[in-house]
Structure 1
Amino acid sequence: MKFHWFLPTNGGDGRQVVSGGHGVEHGVAGRPASVPYLGQIARSAEQLGFEAALTPTGAWCEDAWLTTAMLAPLSERLKFLVAFRPGLTSPTLAAQMAATFQNLTGGRLLLNVVTGGESHEQRAYGDFLDKDERYERCGEFLSIVRRLWTGEEVTYAGRHLRVDQARLQQLPDPIPQIYFGGSSPAAGEVAAEHADVYLTWGEPPAAVAKKIAWIKELGEKRGRELTYGLRVHTISRDTSEEAWAEADRLLAGIDEADIARVQEGLRRSESVGQQNMLDLNNGSKDGLEIHPNLWAGVGLVRGGAGTALVGSHEEVADLVEEYHSVGIDELVLSAYPHLEGAYQFGEGVLPILEERGLWTNPAPVTARASVPFGAQKAAS
């Protein structure tokens, strides 16, 4: 399995669910999304054995391309799962940007293609297509980009996009993997045709298994095999009691008025996946453990991924293994705050998964701390 972390460029980080993000002020204890702080998270994620870090896209966060380009020199091996929106950039330019990033970072780029689930936000960027048209254009975009990455000269005239004799002089090495999510029929078709990794949010394992079966069937019709990943938060502690106490603390910090306001806005979302997240929490602080050790409290005031793995390190590892049994091979994780959360999961859960044969640290053995300093001193 592969595990990825998250860079909170959506306004900042903190000890509450939306500290400094999603239109909420940082507060006294907030951590703005600065290069030094994001660099701390990136270096820690790398040290702990995370494969990559997701950087989001949207009007509410810093630009993912620019942010990750600034952070790449601060780490050595960590890859960046850069979220971007096709249709806002020409496919030739996007292919060139990705190739440049890949080549100048030594192959550390992964791409999270976000078609755009909200028409009102897309219109703010000058995009006036409806949702199904955006997915149709996305398919055209990825067709062009993938052909350019192989060195082909591309002349293409689709319904939405057109290029003439496009070619890249510098090809990406290796070709970046495409991560893609979406729960609508239109999203499924594009994912099956173009994605390397299909991402879904943290619904209960049975629902995730059903979604994987759907995409797998669509992929098989095209002769393609995909990998499947889960985007979810985590609250992992030494004991179950500590973890649930932290979930209760986060819940206590959520104002009922904020729940009503955010839920009203999210209910207008065109995203099928977002509606699934809302159905898990029902806009209420009650009954939020929707599956053993799966908590839906985050989605009360946060769009997108709205659930968290909650429990002792062993319990969280058990739930990860349950997701793996239904077909999940990659997890994109986050926590509040992200720096401390990376250590909680990285030092608490990953070693358990390694013992079970489900994970291997991607860092070279020479880069890992093998002997505690105290033991080293005693031996000398």
Structure 2
Amino acid sequence: MSLRASSEPIRFAYWVPNVSGGLVISKVPQRTSWDAAYNRKLAQIAEEAGFDYALTQIRFTAGYGAEYQHESVAFSHALAAATTRLTVIAAILPGPWNPTLAAKQIATISELTEGRIAINLVSGWFSGEFRAIGEPWLDHDERYRRSEEFLRSLRGIWTQDNFTFRGDFYRYTNYTLKPKPERLPEIFQGGSSRAARDMAARVSDWYFTNGNTPEGIKAQVADLQAKARENGHSVKVGVNAFVIARETEEEARAVLQEIIDHADPDAVKAFGHEVKNAGKASPEGEGNWAKSTFEDLVQYNDGFKTNLIGTPDQIAERIVALKDAGVDLALLAFLHFQEEVKYFGDEVIPRVRALEAARAERAEAA
């Protein structure tokens, strides 16, 4: 077990359901809503439950069961305004956004919320969405190159007066933004391709990966951290997971089966086709979702693969195993968000903290 894993508690984030349909491509009944009132209450429940972050989604067009979408930055501000400790991560997509607008939006929200705003920089996987809104669709690695310039531009605008930058996608000449954020917003970034990991190893604060086993995650983390060390950089890791916590494992597995049994086959296949094509466009021909089965794709980010499905004791032990593999944050989705986030806070997080404390004591005694 690494020193980092033994000394820092794992953090928790949840996917904000600001998009209709929840976090599964399934017609299973859900007590989750995409509306503002539901999400404000959910943010308050999550904060009380012990969550550190909430991640809003960015979608511009309907599809895969998500017909309605609230814009991520405005929605993130609303959730931060409804809470006192929660940090909200706003998804931002280069192309529709440029760094000037994003820097100004986030700096303003940071001042209004005492710094409780961050960014998830999404390089793009949905080519149809870009075509629908008239945005150019770049080659795979070009999207990550643009994202890196976007990120470097944000940091420059937030930290320098008379910022000057000459990139292939963005250019600045003696640009000064005031007020700047008092606390530099954290920047999250996802992807499993070589380009995604290399970008994270150079410039991102956090790297999100799709759901996976501890062994699979450990290999990704080892690769990422080796590259980061070569660059003199430090990056933390978050993993996606779908949580089904019930009193018995049988109950939890039955819920999983019900979600899969009610999956929308056409929507799942269309989503799988889109995301796998995006990965195949990378030089190595593989990215997020490359090895995902139909059942995996029912949850948008391979969340079933992480296997946080079972009793609170089982889930707590698996979370600590993820931490041992190098995970700093668990990004969680649920079927019935409000009640399940509360249950997770009541029953799972205390067990995780107890396991972490016991391990720390053993490490200190050794």
Matched, 1:279 2:291: yes
Tell me how far apart the structure 1 counterparts of residues 16 and 357 of structure 2 sit (CA, whole Å). Answer: 24
Could you say if the C-alpha distance between residues 275 and 159 of structure 1 is closer, same or farther in structure 2, counting changes exceeding 3 Å? closer
Aligned to 2:321: 322
Aligned residues of 2:110 and 2:116 also touching (Cα < 8 A): yes
Could you say if the C-alpha distance between residues 194 and 32 of structure 1 is closer, same or farther in structure 2, counting changes exceeding 3 Å? same
Could you say if the C-alpha distance between residues 65 and 158 of structure 1 is closer, same or farther in structure 2, counting changes exceeding 3 Å? same
Aligned to 1:249: 258
Aligned to 2:185: 176
Task: Describe the SS at the equivalent of 2:169.
Answer: coil
Aligned to 1:362: none
Segment of structure 1 superposing worse, 252-261 or 269-278: 269-278
Aligned to 1:133: 142
Aligned to 2:45: 44
Tell me how far apart the structure 1 counterparts of residues 291 and 231 of structure 2 sit (CA, whole Å). Answer: 32
Deviation for aligned residue 1:50: 0.4
> Superposition pairs for residues 1-380 of structure 1, below 5 Å?
1-13=10-22, 17-18=24-25, 31-59=32-60, 60=62, 61-128=69-136, 129-256=138-265, 259-270=268-279, 276-277=288-289, 279-281=291-293, 283=294, 297=295, 299-307=296-304, 308-357=307-356
Deviation for aligned residue 1:256: 4.8
Deviation for aligned residue 1:179: 0.8
Tell me how far apart the structure 1 counterparts of residues 288 and 195 of structure 2 sit (CA, whole Å). Answer: 16
Cα-Cα RMSD: 2.5
Segment of structure 1 superposing worse, 301-310 or 35-44: 301-310
Aligned residues of 2:275 and 2:289 also touching (Cα < 8 A): no
Deviation for aligned residue 1:54: 0.7
Aligned residues of 2:276 and 2:289 also touching (Cα < 8 A): no
| Unaligned ranges ≥5, structure 1 | 284-296, 360-380
Segment of structure 1 superposing worse, 213-222 or 350-359: 350-359
Aligned residues of 1:314 and 1:349 also touching (Cα < 8 A): yes
Tell me how far apart the structure 1 counterparts of residues 39 and 219 of structure 2 sit (CA, whole Å). Answer: 36
Tell me how far apart the structure 2 counterparts of residues 28 and 306 of structure 1 sit (CA, whole Å). Answer: 19
Aligned residues of 2:275 and 2:288 also touching (Cα < 8 A): no
Task: Describe the SS at the equivalent of 2:351.
Answer: helix
Larger Rg: 1
Tell me how far apart the structure 2 counterparts of residues 170 and 120 of structure 1 sit (CA, whole Å). Answer: 37
Q: Deviations over 1:19-75 (max 9, x none)?
A: 6xxxx7xx9866542111111111100110101111011224321011122233222
Could you say if the C-alpha distance between residues 78 and 139 of structure 1 is closer, same or farther in structure 2, counting changes exceeding 3 Å? same
Aligned residues of 2:80 and 2:117 also touching (Cα < 8 A): no
Q: Deviations over 1:263-287 (max 9, x none)?
A: 4444433377996536242x2xxxx
Q: Which amino acid aligns with 1:46?
A: E
Could you say if the C-alpha distance between residues 328 and 142 of structure 1 is closer, same or farther in structure 2, counting changes exceeding 3 Å? same
Task: Describe the SS at the equivalent of 1:357.
Answer: helix
Task: Describe the SS at the equivalent of 1:163.
Answer: strand
| Unaligned ranges ≥5, structure 2 | 1-9, 63-68, 359-366
Q: Deviations over 1:1-36 (max 9, x none)?
A: 1111121111154xx9336xxxx7xx9866542111
Aligned residues of 1:262 and 1:302 also touching (Cα < 8 A): no
TM-score, normalised with respect to structure 1:
0.81
Tell me how far apart the structure 2 counterparts of residues 53 and 274 of structure 1 sit (CA, whole Å). Answer: 28
TM-score, normalised with respect to structure 2:
0.84
Tell me how far apart the structure 1 counterparts of residues 193 and 54 of structure 2 sit (CA, whole Å). Answer: 26
Could you say if the C-alpha distance between residues 168 and 243 of structure 1 is closer, same or farther in structure 2, counting changes exceeding 3 Å? same
Aligned residues of 1:274 and 1:304 also touching (Cα < 8 A): no
Task: Describe the SS at the equivalent of 2:289.
Answer: helix
Tell me how far apart the structure 2 counterparts of residues 124 and 358 of structure 1 sit (CA, whole Å). Answer: 51
Could you say if the C-alpha distance between residues 246 and 81 of structure 1 is closer, same or farther in structure 2, counting changes exceeding 3 Å? same
Segment of structure 1 superposing worse, 92-101 or 256-265: 256-265
